[in-house]
Structure 1
Amino acid sequence: MMPYTSTERRQRIVVYMLLIAVLAGAAGFGAGQWWMKYRHPVLGQAAFDNLDRSYKEIVNNYMGDVDPESLIHGAVTGMVSSLNDPYSVYYTKEQGKSFLERYEDHFVGIGVVLRVDKGQFIINSTIEGAPAAGAGILADDRIVAIDGKPVDGKTLSDIISLTRGEEGTKVVLTLARASSPEPIEITVTRGEVPVTTVSSKMLDNGVGNITIARFAESTAKEFQQAADRLQEQGMKGLIIDLRANPGGLLQPAMEIASLLIPKDKVIVQVVYKNEQREYTHRSKQKQEWKLPLVVLIDENSASSSEVLAAALGANGAVLVGNKSFGKGIVQTFQQFADESVLKLTEAQWRTPDGSWIHKEGVKPDITVDMPEYAKLPLLHGETTFKQGDYGKEVRTIQHMLFALGSGPITQEGVYNADTTEAVKKFQRQEQLEADGIMSEGTAYRLQQRLAEKIEQEDPQSKKAIEELRNLIKGKAQR
């Protein structure tokens, strides 16, 4: 064999170097794959390859138009849905914004409460401290146009969307007002609209009442302010109304418990997956609460409201009403870079004595049922019913009318001639057009009158007041 020439030797060296580079690259690629699979185990799942291949197949070959972003959101939605957990949800950007707004102490808009009547949008009220009130918008004004565009054919969601926007921007409302022969235009500068979750009132004989609608960012602060006002008015005992409170954030519920429960007493225990982590939250009370407490709960009191009710009940408060809903699990939520949100069940919570109330509920010390008419569902705001219609909502209408003494129920669930006459009777009583049609406006007034009746006759509230007065009297005698 003849020896290599210098040229051949150089060529061989180059070939070897290229071969080494290729092998090193392959090794690096393999190591990279291993490292990625180590850090992200899902990449090693055979099903993940199906997901990747399906995504590429759809994007490249589907006959119609494809939005890759929608495919990804759909995949995440499907992944969460496969958990079969109604409380774990994936929200896209706009859905995520709406979800997070529920827990904030304000939103940006004009601050009006609307009702719909025969396709017309009526200002039911303005929110105190919001831009609309300062701009001169009045209750019963009817919205004709927004920014010069008629609102005919719009939905309530459309109107809400049109009045929302960036803080400091302006929106022009054209309004029909009973006292004005011509529509008027009012320009409103969008701004912060406060969201309140707590209301309070002083009843007779030093009985204070605080209602918590849900638990949001500002709820604990609102509760403290309400309690302070009532104490300044001479409150001797407090009723906390948690009925129909669906829950919300856990932190404000624990903060309220800390105001009312002695320092270091257990409020709630939170237990994570496979009991790997457990946190016991205790009261951080700074000032002793000395007044007797009664708590109202019902079958619609859930989650954080159950945490508060159970904690107060374990520390001497009297629970009155019906057994609560029974939601003993905790969700966390995280917002991603694109503003989508994942809400995921990550833990269960237990009462101070370690009980898990999931699907069991918190039991009251004193059970008091509400009348059947108080349990009727709400009517949808943008639906009209007339003679010949039938269904569950017609049944609800009939029972509402019957509760208010406007007529008998002769054919349950069917909007017959008797139902029409009952509606006319109610409309005449309310000085509405007596056409016998359950329009949005008539439905609004019907539910308003029923709510007033429930408040006046509320047997649970009456029992809570009676029990609290006995506690106040007993405390005074001691």
Structure 2
Amino acid sequence: MKEFSNEAAKQRIITLAILGALLFTIIGFILGWIWMEVRYPMLREPAFRNFTVSYNTIMDKYLNGAKSEELINGASQGMLASLGDPYSRYLIKEQGSAYTQGYEGEFSGVGITLQEADGKFIVASITEGAPAERGGVHAGDEIVGVNGISIKGKAYNDIITILRGDVGTKVKLTLHRGGEAKPVEVELTREAIAVHTVSSEMLSGGIGHVTISKFGEKTDDEFKTEVEKLQKEGMTKLLLDLRSNPGGLLQSTIQIANMLVPKDKAILEVVYKNNSKTITYRSKQDKPWTIPIVVLVNGQSASASEVLTAALKESAGATVVGEKTFGKGIVQTFQQFKDKSVLSLTEAQWKTPGGTWIHKQGVTPDVKVALPAYANLSQLPFGTELKTGSYGENVKTLQLMLQELGYTPVGDTGLFDERTADALSRFQKDEKLADTGKFNDMTGYRILELLSDKLKEEDTQLHKGIEILNSK
């Protein structure tokens, strides 16, 4: 009897242990699932089941096979695209790296500015002292291969991404050079290439003309350097050129505002989702700025350039000249992941010191001045080929460009006829281009260069800014 009792007790203990373990497993599973749903709320969404089934079906049954990483990255891109916000996006690996490098004070590369023309990738210019210059690359060279692989049919941005890479890594270029029977091959080692976003020149009458192309990591340092140089040269008035500046980093913009806006005056106010947080930035100016300022803007001045324009106009008494700005009054933050991919997301909106929301409205100049009409002519798309018999808006644009450069008659508006071909042929001969009487990328580039030179002489906005400063 005693022996039976011990055996029964033993069985009960084993049974209880199994039940206890099973209970703990169930509780652990439930808690784990709850934790997963808290940490990853998308698991609660019915549509997530569709995503999971779709993913598994593709991986198991897709005829051509699929890579898990590419599917997930594609889903991330689609998720951001579904917001309908062009400023919120997911950039994969090298695209993300190129995005962040665009704001840094330097990037890793070989020092080549590339130009796409007629399906070819031409070296437009070379950074002085950079690996490309030391390695024997010439302006005008055509890049036909990278690391032994033809780049025919590749997209422009893809080539830029390939040319960049980690400092110290090598890249081999195959070049086609005019006058050389065989391709030229060079191997270059990537280096840190400085990015300059500020330039300056001294104009007559003590006017310092400072141009900011965008707001990067070191733009405020560059601005301070250029201003100090101009002051040593006798600058008594500042002409700040923000035309076609697409914006950039808010921090460097605020640092420049700290130099030009009186101490404690408002620069901007940033308001986050559902008014959960509001940040007001005020000037921390160390030394009073006493030099009169005129700011030049146009319809492509956007984001951070609008921040600075509005702050100078409303808090520093600057005169704004030109055209209404683009109207980007929202703020993106971005985070970069371990694989260099980037999530850029719109998280806030901002208003001017006077409390104005400028999104889709822009900053209105104090003195409205338009550029000559030809300045608004759009660049003809890469790969555009126009010849006798062509017609449409692209032909009309080409005719207006030729007319501005003095090549007339150009024929009936919008129709590429014999007169258009003759005008274009005369232009090509004068500029020592292939005389085909047909429009191609190389011809287009040269037309734009000459129109740009012409605009420098006929820059009505710049001239008005100088006139206003000279009256102060």
- TM-score, normalised by the number of residues in structure 1: 0.90
Contact 1:245 1:305 in 2 (8 A): yes
Verify: 1:280 aligned to 2:275, yes or no.
no
Residue of structure 2 in register with 1:468 after alignment: 469
Shift of 1:5: 4.1
Distance 2:312 2:78 in 1: 40
Tell me what 1:211 maps to: 211
| 8 A Cα contact 1:115 1:381, kept in partner | no
Shift of 1:128: 2.7
SS at match of 1:279: strand
* 1:385 paired residue number: 386
Distance change (3 Å), C-alpha of 1:350 and 1:32: same
The yes-or-no answer on 1:398 pairing with 2:399 is yes
**RMSD across aligned C-alpha pairs, in angstroms?**
2.8
TM-superposed deviation, 1:262: 1.3
Q: Residue 156 of structure 1: CA displacement?
A: 5.0
Quote the Cα distance in structure 1 between the aligned partners of 2:17 and 2:50.
Answer: 38
Q: Alpha-carbon deviation of 1:195?
A: 1.4
| Alpha-carbon shift at residue 157 of structure 1 (Å) | 5.2
Question: Is contact 1:294-1:464 (8 Å) kept?
Answer: yes
- Mark the runs of 5 or more structure 2 residues left unpaired by the alignment: none
Q: Does 1:432 align with 2:433?
A: yes
Tell me, in whole angstroms, the C-alpha distance in 1 between the residues paired with 2:255 and 2:268.
12
- Which letter does structure 2 place at the counterpart of 1:400? M
Q: Is the 8 A contact 1:130 1:194 kept in 2?
A: no
**1:22 matched residue in structure 2:** 22
CA shift digits 1:391-439 (9 cap, x unpaired): 4333322221122121244333333222211211211222323221222
Q: Which moved more, 1:311-320 or 1:142-151?
A: 142-151
Match for 2:404: what amino acid?
A: A
Q: Aligned ranges for residues 181-192 of structure 1 at < 5 Å?
A: 188-192=188-192
Change over 3 Å in CA distance of 1:87–1:176 after alignment to 2: closer
Q: CA deviation at 1:95?
A: 1.8
Say whether the 8 Å CA contact 2:93–2:339 is kept in structure 1. Answer: yes
User: Within 5 A, what are the aligned runs for 1:78-157?
Assistant: 78-116=78-116, 121-141=121-141
- 1:347 partner SS: strand
**SS of structure 2 residue aligned to 1:325:** coil
Q: CA deviation at 1:153?
A: 6.8
1:61 deviation in Å? 3.9
Partner of 2:8: 8
Work out the percentage of aligned pairs sharing the same amino acid. Answer: 47
Q: Which moved more, 1:117-126 or 1:289-298?
A: 117-126
Any idea what SS the aligned residue of 2:193 has?
strand
Q: Write out per-residue CA displacement over residues 88-110 of structure 1, whole angstroms, 9 at most, x where no aligned residue.
A: 11111122112112112222222
CA distance in 2, matches of 1:28, 1:186: 61
SS at 2:471's partner residue? helix
Tell me the residue number matched to 1:475.
none
Contact persistence 1:129–1:194 (CA under 8 A): no
Correspondence 1:305 to 2:305: yes
Secondary structure class of the residue paired with 2:358: coil
Q: What does the per-residue CA deviation read over 1:321-357, in whole Å, with 9 as the maximum and x for residues that have no partner?
A: 0111111100111112332211111000110111111
Per the alignment, do residues 135 and 262 of structure 1 end up closer, same or farther by CA in structure 2, a change over 3 Å counting? Answer: same
Could you tell me which amino acid in structure 2 is paired with residue 339 of structure 1?
K
- For 2:76 and 2:170, the matched residues in 1 are separated by 37
Q: Distance in 2 between matches of 1:80 and 1:158?
A: 21
DSSP 3-state at the match of 1:43: helix
CA distance in 2 between counterparts of 1:230 and 1:398 reads 42
d(CA) in 2 for partners of 1:420 and 1:343?
47
1:290 corresponds in structure 2 to: 290
Partners of 1:267 and 1:352 within 8 A in 2: yes
Using the alignment, how far apart are the partners of 2:404 and 2:89 within structure 1? 39
1:411 partner SS: coil
The match for 1:347 is 348
- For 2:146 and 2:86, the matched residues in 1 are separated by 38
Question: Could you tell me which residue of structure 2 aligns to residue 317 of structure 1?
Answer: 318
Q: Deviations over 1:119-144 (max 9, x none)?
A: 55543322134223344544445557
Secondary structure class of the residue paired with 2:262: coil
Residue in structure 1 matched with residue 60 of structure 2 by the alignment:
60
Indicate if the aligned counterparts of 1:409 and 1:419 stay in contact, CA closer than 8 A.
yes
User: Separation in 1 of the partners of 2:426 and 2:203?
Assistant: 34
Stretch moving more, 29-38 or 282-291 = 29-38
- Cα shift at 1:10: 1.6
Flag structure 1 segments of 5+ consecutive residues without an equivalent. 472-478
- The 3 A distance-change label for structure 1 pair 388 and 288 is same
Give 3-state SS (helix, strand or coil) of 1:240's partner: strand
Further displaced range: 381-390 or 395-404: 381-390
